[in-house]
């Protein structure tokens, strides 16, 4: 696939909302459209708005929903409860409340792991899964690196400091960087900025990704699995190992992408998504 940069322009505006569920209040963004709905699940310590450029680039007419995980953005920040199962159950409640009929799940990194866990738990409510850079059984060194970065970046002197600290942003176009900062930064009461995620919760979730999860992935429906062709975080063969557990899964890779695929190459991501969903038919 040839990667052609998109012209510099902001993503199309999305409608934002907040839904109160039995367990938690979840903030989300939405683009109206046709059935089945597509639910995008973002990585740990990011924002649900990492998907905006993929949504803009997609040619699909489907309704698109972008929920924020607990401890991120305007979703509630509980002091405890950041296991993968906590996120999974939050999102199952969100899907049940927001989607009419089976949904298509699209997840990236932690979000991909969660998408597969959700589909395994409620297969009757899921049409298909796209698992981008699935993070399952990560090395302890990756977990420690994330923890060190989170602890070192509790407060940022200014936007320039935040820009310099933004992980994996070296591949992103300038408008992607600025859009990410717009949605991830909050003013710190003591001056400067802070990230809009719950640091201890982020670290707890990251540690969960060292689990093997073999017994949790029982999904057997249509699945597309891919990683970044230039990934420096997860082993290149991790996507292949995950796909091997899923009968009939399609396996490919995303060119011009490291670890944050939806920001590294949003147009390429959208093309893979579009072709997979169009192949589903119906």
**Residue 281: per-residue pLDDT:** 84
- Residue 90: both structure tokens together: 């939050």
Is residue 54 within 8 A of residue 266, CB to CB? The reply is yes
CB atoms within 10 A of CB 264: 26
Is residue 197 within 8 A of residue 178, CB to CB? The reply is no
- 282 residues of the chain, pLDDT tens digit each: 333 344 455 567 899 999 999 999 999 999 999 999 999 999 999 999 999 999 999 999 999 999 999 999 999 999 999 999 999 999 999 999 999 999 999 999 999 999 999 999 999 999 999 999 998 877 655 656 666 666 667 789 999 999 999 988 999 999 999 999 999 999 988 889 999 999 999 999 999 988 888 788 999 999 999 999 999 888 878 899 999 999 989 999 999 999 999 999 999 999 999 999 999 986
Total count of residues recorded for the chain: 282
**Residue 232: per-residue pLDDT:** 87
Alpha helices in the chain (DSSP H): 52-57, 84-98, 110-121, 140-152, 159-165, 174-184, 199-208, 238-244, 261-264, 266-280
Domain ranges of the chain: 15-136+211-280
Strand, coil or helix: 155 = coil
Query: Where does 15-136+211-280 sit in CATH, by number?
Result: 3.40.50.1820
Bridge pairing between strands 193-195 and 34-41: unpaired
**Residue 190: per-residue pLDDT:** 86
Quick one: angle between helices 110-121 and 84-98, nearest 10? 60
**Residue 236: per-residue pLDDT:** 79
**Residue 135: per-residue pLDDT:** 82
């Amino acid at each position: 696939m040839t990667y052609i940069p998109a012209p510099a322009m902001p993503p199309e505006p999305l409608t934002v909302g907040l839904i109160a569920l039995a367990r938690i209040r979840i903030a989300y963004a939405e683009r109206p459209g046709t059935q089945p709905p597509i639910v995008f699940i973002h990585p740990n310590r990011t924002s649900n708005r990492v998907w905006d450029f993929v949504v803009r680039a997609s040619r699909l007419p489907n309704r698109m929903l972008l929920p924020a995980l607990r401890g991120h953005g305007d979703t509630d920040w509980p002091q405890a409860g950041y296991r993968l199962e906590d996120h999974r159950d939050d999102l199952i409640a969100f899907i049940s409340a927001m989607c009419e009929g089976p949904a298509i799940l699209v997840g990236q990194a932690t979000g991909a792991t969660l998408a597969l866990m959700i589909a395994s738990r409620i297969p009757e409510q899921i049409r298909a899964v796209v698992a981008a850079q699935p993070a399952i059984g990560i090395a302890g060194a990756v977990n420690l690196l994330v923890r060190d970065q989170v602890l070192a970046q509790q407060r940022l002197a200014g936007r320039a400091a935040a820009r310099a600290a933004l992980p994996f942003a070296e591949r992103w176009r300038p408008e992607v960087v600025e859009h990410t900062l717009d949605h991830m930064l909050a003013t710190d009461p003591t001056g400067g900025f802070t990230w809009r995620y719950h640091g201890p919760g982020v670290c707890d979730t990251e540690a969960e990704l060292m689990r093997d999860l073999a017994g949790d992935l029982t999904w057997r429906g249509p699945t597309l699995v891919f990683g970044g062709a230039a990934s420096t975080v997860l082993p290149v063969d991790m996507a292949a190992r995950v796909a091997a557990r899923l009968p009939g899964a399609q396996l490919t890779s995303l060119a011009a992408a490291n670890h944050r695929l939806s920001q590294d190459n949003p147009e390429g991501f959208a093309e893979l998504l579009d072709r997979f969903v169009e192949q589903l038919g119906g």
